[in-house]
C-alpha cells in the first residue's frame, strides 16, 4: 500500500507516518527541510526496519515543485492514501496583516493540496481506489481572533474537501476532511502542556489510520477533534 504524506518531518504528519509505518505500508514522504525530513525517515527506519520509507524534499508552496513531487510519487504506482498535511500558521488579521501573507497562506495551506491531488487523481481514478485526507482545522469552520489569512486558507481547504467528496464518491475514492483543534506541535512551542490541556499529534494520527481501515462501503466525511476542555 502506497501512503503519501506531505509535511511529514514533524508534528501531525510525522505521527501519521509512524502509524502507517507500523502497518507496514510503503511511505512516500515530503517536507521542505531536508535535515528534518532525513531525521524523521531515519527514526522511522529504526523503529520499523521492514517498512519501506522513501522521501522527497520540496517546497510545496511552489506549484512546479508540487507537480514534480507528484510525478515522483507516481513512479511507485497509484496512491492508496494521500494525506495533504503540509501547512503553516501565521497569525494576523485581514485588516492589518503583512502584505503578501494571504498569498503565502493560500499557496502552502490550500494550493499545495489542490495541485498535488490533481496530479495524482488520474491514476487513482484509473485504479478505482484511494483515500484522500485533507488536514483542515477548526479554523476551517469559524473565524477566531488572529485567524486572518490562515483561517481563510483553511476555509478554502474545507470547501475543496466538500467538492472532492461530491465528485469522487462514484469513483471508488474516499475523501476525509480532518478538523483538529489545538494539537501540541511546533505551533505551540513554549506552551506548557504538562496538564494535557491540548491534544497530542498521535491522537490525530490514530484517527486517520483507523478511518483508512473501514470497509469500502463506509466513508468518514469529516473528523472534528477538539481538546476535552474545548478550544483555547
- Catalytic site residues? 150
Torsion of CA 174, 180, 185, 189, to 10 degrees: 160
Contact present, 207 and 178 (Cβ < 8 Å):
yes
Give the distance between the most distant pair of CA atoms in the chain.
51
- Say how far apart CA 208 and CA 61 lie, in whole Å: 24
Residues 6 or more apart whose Cβ sits within 8 Å of residue 148: 90, 91, 92, 93, 94, 97, 101, 102
What is the number of other CB atoms lying within 10 angstroms of the CB of residue 1?
13
Amino acid at each position: 500500500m502506497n501512503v503519501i504524506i506531505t509535511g511529514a518531518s514533524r508534528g501531525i504528519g510525522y505521527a501519521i507516518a509512524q502509524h502507517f509505518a507500523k502497518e507496514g505500508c510503503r511511505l512516500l514522504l515530503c517536507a521542505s527541510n531536508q535535515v528534518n525530513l532525513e531525521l524523521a525517515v531515519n527514526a522511522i527506519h529504526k523503529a520499523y526496519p521492514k517498512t519501506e520509507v522513501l522521501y522527497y524534499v520540496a517546497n510545496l508552496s511552489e506549484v512546479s515543485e508540487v507537480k514534480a513531487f507528484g510525478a515522483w510519487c507516481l513512479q511507485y504506482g497509484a496512491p492508496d492514501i494521500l494525506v495533504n498535511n503540509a501547512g503553516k500558521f501565521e497569525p494576523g488579521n485581514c485588516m492589518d496583516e503583512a502584505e503578501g501573507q494571504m498569498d503565502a497562506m493560500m499557496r502552502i495551506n490550500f494550493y499545495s493540496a489542490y495541485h498535488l491531488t490533481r496530479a495524482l487523481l488520474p491514476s487513482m481514478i484509473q485504479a478505482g481506489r484511494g483515500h484522500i485526507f485533507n488536514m483542515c482545522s477548526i479554523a476551517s469552520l469559524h473565524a477566531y481572533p488572529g485567524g486572518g489569512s490562515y483561517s481563510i486558507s483553511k476555509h478554502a481547504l474545507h470547501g475543496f474537501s466538500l467538492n472532492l467528496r461530491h465528485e469522487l464518491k462514484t469513483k471508488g475514492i474516499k475523501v476525509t476532511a480532518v478538523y483538529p483543534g489545538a494539537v501540541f506541535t511546533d505551533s505551540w512551542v513554549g506552551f506548557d502542556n504538562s496538564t494535557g490541556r491540548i491534544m497530542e499529534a498521535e491522537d490525530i494520527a490514530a484517527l486517520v489510520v483507523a478511518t483508512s481501515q473501514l470497509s469500502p462501503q463506509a466513508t468518514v466525511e469529516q473528523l472534528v477533534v477538539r481538546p476535552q476542555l474545548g478550544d483555547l
